[in-house]
Amino acid sequence: MKDLIIISGAPGSGKTTISKLLHRQLNFPPIVDFGNIRAMHLDEKWSNQNKEEEKMSFENLLFILRNYFRHGYKNVIVNDLLDFRVQEIPRRFRSLDFLIVSLIVDDKELKKRVLGERDSGYKDVPSALEWNRKLMERKPVRNNSEYPLVSRENSTKNS
């Protein structure tokens, strides 16, 4: 049992899907979607997003998480963090038992997912591919596990 589980990755990598599966598998711990925290005060197209707003949202997330821990919650799942925020988790929660899961998707599959029917509305393929590439290239952070996800087509060929 962990205190905190961070699910990270580019848009379309499967963060929400994995979070929901873990939520059921781990007996329904809280899921905190950072995008939902930001969406509380952003317009529909997020045209009013900025660094100060993102910083405030991250501070709100930290407050929410600390409150869950203070009340004894375990396996709290967080997703949709920007990668530089994921890298802050080891420093912010030194005393906790946490896991960071980074989802990495091959380019062809990621493009298909971003352009497909997704509830987030995010359709910026070049940015998603760049995010995915940077995630693969960055230095590991403490308690980070990477999970490369390949397209079903590629995984069938390799079997």
Domain boundaries, the chain: 4-158
Tokens 């899961």 -> residue = 101
Q: Where are the beta strands (DSSP E) in the chain?
A: 4-9, 31-33, 76-79, 98-105, 144-149
Q: Which CATH superfamily is domain 4-158 in?
A: P-loop containing nucleotide triphosphate hydrolases (3.40.50.300)
11: pLDDT strictly greater than 50: yes
Q: What is the pLDDT of residue 150?
A: 55
Model confidence pLDDT, tens digit, residues 44-77? 888 899 999 999 999 999 999 999 999 999 999 9
> What gap in Å lies between CA 102 and CA 148, rounded to an integer?
8
Output the average pLDDT for the chain: 89
